[in-house]
């Protein structure tokens, strides 16, 4: 780990109010020239935690030799991956002892954990079905932009935050209810699908439907309808809060039992297990459903699986990728809302490796103490992550020294059938 001493420099050309601290985004240094301060959000987070008012800004210059200065700069430098030099810095008003002490301490703490590191980056959390839906939604918003025709996307939205933001910029409307969709407009059905009632209402409102339902979710909906046609009971193995559960179960509510864990199999009631089958819901890892399937079979030995033409391996691949990244890391960062179901699931996959896990809802959640003695950082993104947050985290970490970024993804490939 780097233990560079904090330089204290008198600077001019910047006024810092007493009680405030300015965190430079770049500074002009007499020793190294113009320095980028990519770790500025990390320094700012530490200062705000100490009750300081913080502003991020460029600092024009330092080492004022005239004897007249406007502020005091505290900085530590470190090498970057490209061989350039970066700075960890903060600026306080002269004579402001409290702000100056906070600025120096923040720079010292982050300077103490600056080092060359490797970052293992898990692949995108978005499966093919979700990305296809995102593309369809964005294309619709672009196609109808400026035409006067409103484009709606039904929530919950299973698309990247960047796409949702871009759609909003194009005038598209994300709504949780088909009742908000105006007649004659365009509505995009999300990847996790919609209920028959929503489809009926869309027809009644005479809207143009762009159906972006994932093909695997659509296949599960078909399986539910066929179970009802055959007067069979279908156990849908799901997870709490999964968006696709309602759209599948609603196809045959009296013939579908949603089971979210082994204990819930006790609620399944059927007089003849030969008329009972089960289906792993698309979007749920097969490993996560193994215990539930075992419990179901112990109660109903004759229960049979519904095997769709295409099996959804995306959740298993994602879980395996997260576990692999965490296993190879000293610290695992999971970017996303700490309270979201998806973030909690990703954290659970990572903790299975025995690695320390930290959810990151904002950059300020990363503390200097987390990085002490950490040489390899793992990073996975939750579907709840705000647009650009993962990139901001990587950029900020790169400001603490050389950062070698390695992407990792596990992928299941179907083998060709033997002849």
Q: pLDDT at residue 416 above 60?
A: no
DSSP 3-state percent helix, strand, coil across the chain (nearest 5): 35, 25, 40
Residue 196: the pLDDT is: 94
9 CB contacts (<8 Å, ≥6 apart)? Answer: 62, 63, 72, 73, 74, 75
Instruction: State the residue for tokens 């109808």.
Output: 144
Average pLDDT, integer, range 228-249: 89
Write out pLDDT tens, residues 242-259. Answer: 888 999 999 999 999 999
CA-CA-CA-CA dihedral for 364, 365, 371, 376, to nearest 10: -110
**Inter-helix orientation angle 341-351/314-327, to 10°:** 50
CA distance 379 to 368: 17
H-helix segments, 1-153: 40-49, 97-112, 128-143
Write out pLDDT tens, residues 36-50. Answer: 999 999 999 999 999
Report which DSSP code applies to 109.
H
CA angle (111, 78, 363) in 5-degree steps: 55
Domains detected in the chain = 7-113 (no CATH), 120-124+314-408 (3.40.1010.20), 128-213 (3.40.50.11270), 228-305 (3.40.1010.20)
Write out pLDDT tens, residues 356-385. Answer: 999 999 999 999 999 999 999 999 999 999
The answer to whether 416 and 59 are in contact (CB under 8 A) is no
The answer to whether 400 and 115 are in contact (CB under 8 A) is yes
Helix H or strand E segment including 217: helix 215-229
Residue 1: the pLDDT is: 39
N-to-C CA span, the chain: 58
Residue 18: the pLDDT is: 92
Strands 33-36 and 20-29: antiparallel
170 CB contacts (<8 Å, ≥6 apart)? Answer: 138, 141, 142, 145, 151
Write out pLDDT tens, residues 318-357. Answer: 999 999 999 999 999 999 999 998 899 999 999 999 999 9
Q: Is pTM, for the whole model, over 0.75? A: yes
Residue 417: the pLDDT is: 52
Q: What is the largest CA-CA distance in the chain?
A: 93
CA distance 410 to 314: 10
């Amino acid at each position: 780990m780097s233990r560079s001493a904090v330089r204290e420099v008198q600077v001019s050309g910047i006024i810092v109010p007493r009680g405030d601290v300015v965190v430079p985004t770049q500074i002009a240094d007499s020793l190294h020239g113009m320095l980028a301060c990519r770790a500025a959000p990390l320094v700012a987070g530490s200062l705000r935690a100490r009750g300081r008012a913080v502003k991020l800004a460029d600092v024009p210059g330092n080492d004022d030799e005239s004897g007249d200065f406007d502020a005091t700069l505290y900085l530590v430098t470190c090498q970057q991956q490209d061989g350039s030099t970066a700075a960890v810095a903060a600026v306080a008003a002269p004579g402001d002892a409290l702000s100056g002490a906070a600025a120096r301490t923040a720079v010292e703490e982050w300077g103490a954990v600056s080092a060359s590191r490797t970052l293992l980056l898990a692949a995108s959390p978005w499966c093919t079905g979700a990305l296809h839906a995102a593309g369809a939604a964005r294309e619709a918003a672009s196609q109808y932009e400026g035409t006067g025709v409103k484009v709606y996307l039904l929530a919950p939205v299973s698309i990247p935050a960047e796409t949702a933001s871009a759609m909003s910029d194009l005038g598209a409307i994300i709504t949780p209810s088909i009742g908000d969709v105006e007649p004659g407009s365009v509505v995009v059905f999300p990847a996790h699908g919609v209920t028959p009632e929503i489809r009926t209402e869309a027809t009644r409102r005479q809207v143009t439907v762009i159906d972006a339902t994932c093909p695997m979710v659509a296949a599960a909906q078909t399986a539910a309808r066929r179970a009802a046609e055959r007067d069979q009971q279908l156990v849908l193995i799901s997870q709490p809060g999964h968006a696709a559960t309602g759209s599948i179960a609603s196809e045959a509510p009296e013939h579908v039992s949603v089971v979210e864990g082994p204990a819930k199999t006790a609620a399944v009631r059927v007089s003849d297990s030969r008329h009972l089958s089960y289906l792993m819901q698309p979007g749920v890892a097969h490993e996560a459903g193994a215990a539930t399937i075992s419990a179901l079979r112990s109660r109903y030995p004759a229960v049979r699986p519904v095997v769709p033409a295409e099996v959804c391996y995306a959740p298993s691949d994602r879980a395996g990728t997260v576990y692999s990244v965490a296993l190879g890391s000293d610290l695992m960062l999971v970017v996303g809302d700490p309270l979201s179901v998806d973030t909690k699931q990703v954290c659970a996959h990572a903790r299975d490796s025995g690695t320390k896990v930290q959810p990151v809802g904002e950059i300020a959640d990363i503390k200097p103490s987390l990085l002490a003695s950490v040489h390899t950082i793992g990073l996975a993104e939750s579907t709840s992550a705000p647009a650009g947050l993962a990139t901001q985290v990587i950029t900020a970490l790169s400001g603490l020294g050389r950062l070698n970024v390695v992407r990792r993804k596990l992928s299941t490939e179907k083998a060709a059938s033997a002849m």
